[in-house]
């Protein structure tokens, strides 16, 4: 088998492997594969049934073909690419259902029509046999391998129930025991209705993963590459770093890169959720998958393949969908012991009905079969992951990237939202109000030092300083090195060995000047800078208060400036002049009082983002802040914060609703079936649609009002 699976070497002894596996339809399937891989001694196992992916690291002597064989023996199939894999006609569950329905319909009709032929045992046997064979191949194979793998699944119950009805009827036919032994229609109907449920379940699960699939479609584009003055059309997967590409009006940008020539308005809605096009000019960065609404440009490819922003977002979403919230552990635990428990209940039902009442063999068997076919462990297995997938997808379409499904539960009862000031509540676009130089120091020389140092930083303040001094007279300075210190500023050394420090801190002694420049530890100048509050910040703070959440301002900026911003926005809890280690202490205090979310954007925020229950980073934040956060706001509009909290709240609510339905359904349905109040065919129909109810409730999240 030639497989296009991803295999990466991690160490000399360890491989990271990713397999595409089809045929998984609920969490029980994922548990079967997970248990198999654990038995083989594999590590870092991740099984995503909806994304049809299996990942693990192999540090043992187990060969990949042996692992693939084990997975396929469980009844699943390892393929090159699920998107390109087309199952054989007879393997498709829709075709199995149609085939079975054709034979099941006449069997059901004999119950209402007086046609003599339909009442003949041999005719019913011949009509039921093809359906039973399909059931054995579909459910029996899966049931056998799931038991062999140590995680019995729902198919075990369906197989036992349908086989019991078939064998009971077959014995009655062979021994000519009469109509009271003819239950071929029960056997066929159970199989057909459960296949119908599988059809709906498959389509519904596909809808829950539509967000990731929509993003994948953005990757499937062609690129116009320039080679020796001619343009050739290639697949975006074949683009290499350094390639020169032409992107025209209406095209999708094939990969990440920088514009070399031309201008365009680019729709970045797939990335940020913001539909207003962004104007791009020479030297601006463009992201693969975004759409050129007007204009055209020539670009150089900088990031391709798995290194593009879009690929990393897709990978992040897949990992997030597989990350289990704590609330799922209960469902998983029950689902793992559910099937053996139901078989035991069915056996007790048969025994009790047969020996303790006058119901007889027929009634006892039908009650036991009803217990088997109405039970549904899949509903419990689907309750959490489907809701998480839809919730994460809705968040992504609103420009909110959540790194883990467990994050959703972590913010459900948020009590405090702690904000950094600069670049979070404020625009981060600073203007220089004044530069105060010390006696005997040349202003142009100061400007040159500031520009040389701040060009080496990505901090919003640094970028604003460089932009603000651009075009003004200044004496250039050549630096040998420059380093950024968290929460303090920049340290540098020029080619002559002079050392410089430019930054904030508790040494500044004048309220209007919040940056100081030192040369060889001697003060050269003080700089007064200021930025503006984001227009939506006040509305956000008011909304948080209405939600019962306490907003907190935590910043390394001067205390008086923090108080000024806090007063404007209505924030009463303020912590200014804080260094990174002090921010950790403040976050720790709030965490002891209740669930705490931290929102920031700078390197100095990274430790606090990690320390908080949930760290939220702005898209234009430093890379360190983005890596430290569990949530990234791709759209810098602060309204995304409320949207994130609302989506998380309603996703958790949906999970609880799903779990309640799954548990309540089984708790009520199983005793009703055991007491003989439920026909097995009605039980099969109810079971077939119990999964659809759970998935349908999850899909409501796509369009549900969140306020």
Q: Which residues are catalytic?
A: 420
To which residue do tokens 């404020």 refer?
Answer: 426
Task: For residues 113 and 358, give the distance between their C-alpha atoms in angstroms, rounded to a whole number.
Answer: 31
- Residue 51 has phi, psi (to 5 degrees) of -80, -5
- Residue 114, classified by CB atoms within 10 Å of its CB into exposed (0-12), middle (13-18) or buried (19+), is exposed
Task: For residues 252 and 661, give the distance between their C-alpha atoms in angstroms, rounded to a whole number.
Answer: 43
- Would strands 77-79 and 244-247 be described as parallel, antiparallel, or unpaired? unpaired
Task: For residues 219 and 311, give the distance between their C-alpha atoms in angstroms, rounded to a whole number.
Answer: 8
Encoded tokens for 37: 């891989």
Coil/strand/helix, residue 548? coil
- Sign of torsion over alpha carbons 649, 650, 651, 656: positive
Task: For residues 214 and 441, give the distance between their C-alpha atoms in angstroms, rounded to a whole number.
Answer: 59
Q: Which residues contact 677 (CB under 8 A, 6 or more apart)?
A: none
Task: Give the DSSP per-residue string, 375-424.
Answer: --HHHHHHHHHHHHHHHHHHHHHTTEEES-HHHHHHTTTEEEEEE-IIII
Coil/strand/helix, residue 487? coil
Exposure string of 529-549, with b = 16+ CB inside 10 Å and e = fewer, is: bebeebebbbebbebbeeeeb
The neighbouring-strand residues paired with 499 are 493
User: Taking a C-beta distance cutoff of 8 angstroms, is the pair 272, 619 a contact?
Assistant: yes
Encoded tokens for 411: 């913010």
The neighbouring-strand residues paired with 493 are 481, 499
Q: Which residues contact 562 (CB under 8 A, 6 or more apart)?
A: 421, 553, 555, 574, 575, 576, 577
Helix/strand/coil percentages in the chain, nearest 5 = 50, 20, 30
Q: Which candidate, 599, 642, 618, places its Cα nearest to that of 272?
A: 618
Task: Give the DSSP per-residue string, 55-107.
Answer: EEEE-SS--HHHHHHHHHHTT-EEES-TTT----GGG-HHHHHHHHHHHHHHH
User: Taking a C-beta distance cutoff of 8 angstroms, is the pair 558, 511 a contact?
Assistant: yes
Coil/strand/helix, residue 4? coil
- Would strands 414-419 and 550-554 be described as parallel, antiparallel, or unpaired? parallel
* Segment (H or E) for 481: strand 479-485
């Amino acid at each position: 088998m030639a497989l296009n699976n991803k295999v990466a070497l991690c160490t000399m002894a360890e491989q990271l492997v990713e397999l595409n596996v089809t045929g998984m339809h609920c969490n029980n399937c994922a548990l079967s594969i997970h248990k198999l891989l654990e038995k083989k001694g594999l590590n870092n196992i991740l099984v995503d049934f909806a994304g049809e992916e299996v990942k693990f690291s192999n540090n043992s002597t187990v060969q990949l073909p042996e692992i693939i064989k084990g997975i396929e023996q469980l009844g699943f199939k390892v393929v090159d690419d699920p998107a390109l894999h087309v199952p054989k006609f007879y393997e498709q569950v829709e075709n199995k259902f149609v085939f079975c329905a054709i034979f099941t319909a006449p069997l059901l009709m004999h119950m209402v029509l007086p046609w003599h032929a339909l009442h003949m045992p041999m005719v019913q046997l011949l009509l039921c046999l093809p359906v039973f064979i399909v059931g054995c191949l579909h459910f029996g194979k899966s049931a056998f391998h799931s038991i062999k793998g140590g995680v019995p699944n729902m198919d075990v119950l369906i197989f036992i129930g349908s086989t019991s009805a078939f064998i009971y009827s077959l014995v009655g036919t062979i021994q000519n025991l009469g109509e009271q032994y003819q239950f071929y229609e029960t056997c066929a109907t159970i199989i057909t209705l459960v296949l119908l449920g599988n059809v709906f379940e498959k389509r519904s699960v596909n809808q829950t993963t539509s967000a990731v699939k929509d993003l994948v479609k953005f990757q499937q584009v062609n690129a116009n590459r320039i080679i020796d003055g001619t343009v050739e059309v290639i697949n975006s997967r074949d683009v290499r770093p350094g390639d020169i590409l032409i992107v025209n009006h209406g095209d999708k940008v094939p990969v990440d890169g920088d514009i070399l020539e031309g201008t365009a308005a680019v729709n970045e809605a797939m990335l940020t959720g913001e539909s207003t096009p962004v104007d791009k000019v020479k030297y601006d960065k463009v992201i693969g998958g975004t759409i050129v609404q007007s204009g055209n440009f020539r670009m150089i490819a900088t990031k391709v393949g798995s290194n593009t922003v879009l690929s990393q977002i897709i990978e992040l979403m897949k990992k997030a969908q597989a990350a289990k919230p704590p609330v799922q552990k209960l469902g998983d635990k029950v689902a793992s012991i559910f099937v053996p428990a139901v078989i035991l209940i069915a056996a007790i039902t048969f025994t009790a009905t047969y020996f303790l009442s006058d119901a007889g063999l027929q009634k006892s068997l039908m009650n036991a079969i009803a217990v088997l076919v109405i039970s549904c462990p899949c509903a419990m297995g689907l309750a959490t992951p489907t809701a998480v997938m839809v919730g994460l997808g809705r968040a992504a379409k609103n420009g909110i990237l959540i790194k883990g499904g467990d994050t959703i539960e972590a913010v459900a009862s948020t009590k405090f939202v702690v904000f950094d000031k600069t670049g979070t509540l404020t625009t981060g676009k600073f203007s220089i109000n004044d530069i105060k130089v010390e006696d005997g120091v040349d202003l142009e020389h100061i400007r040159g030092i500031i520009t040389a140092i701040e060009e080496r930083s990505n901090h919003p303040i640094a970028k604003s300083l460089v932009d603000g001094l651009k075009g003004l007279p200044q004496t250039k300075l050549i630096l040998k090195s420059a380093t950024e210190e968290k929460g303090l500023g920049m340290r540098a050394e020029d080619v002559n060995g002079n050392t410089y420090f430019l930054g904030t801190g508790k040494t500044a002694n004048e309220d209007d000047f919040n940056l100081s420049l030192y040369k060889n530890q001697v003060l050269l100048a003080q700089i007064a800078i200021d930025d503006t509050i984001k227009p939506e910040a006040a509305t956000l703070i008011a909304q948080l208060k209405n939600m019962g959440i306490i907003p907190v301002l935590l910043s390394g900026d001067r205390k008086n400036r923090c108080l000024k911003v806090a007063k404007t926005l209505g924030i009463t809890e303020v912590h200014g002049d804080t260094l990174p280690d002090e921010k950790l202490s403040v976050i720790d205090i709030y965490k002891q009082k209740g669930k705490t979310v931290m929102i920031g954007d700078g390197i100095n925020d990274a430790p606090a983002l990690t320390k908080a229950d949930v760290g939220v980073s702005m898209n234009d934040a430093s890379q360190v802040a983005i890596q430290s956060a569990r949530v990234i706001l791709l759209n810098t509009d602060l309204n995304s914060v409320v949207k994130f909290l609302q989506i998380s709240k309603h996703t958790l609510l949906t999970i609880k609703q799903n779990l309640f339905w799954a548990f309540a359904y089984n708790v009520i349905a199983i005793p009703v079936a055991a007491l003989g109040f439920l026909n097995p065919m009605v039980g099969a129909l109810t079971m077939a649609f119990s999964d659809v109810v759970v998935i349908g409730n999850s899909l409501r999240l796509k369009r549900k009002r969140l306020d």
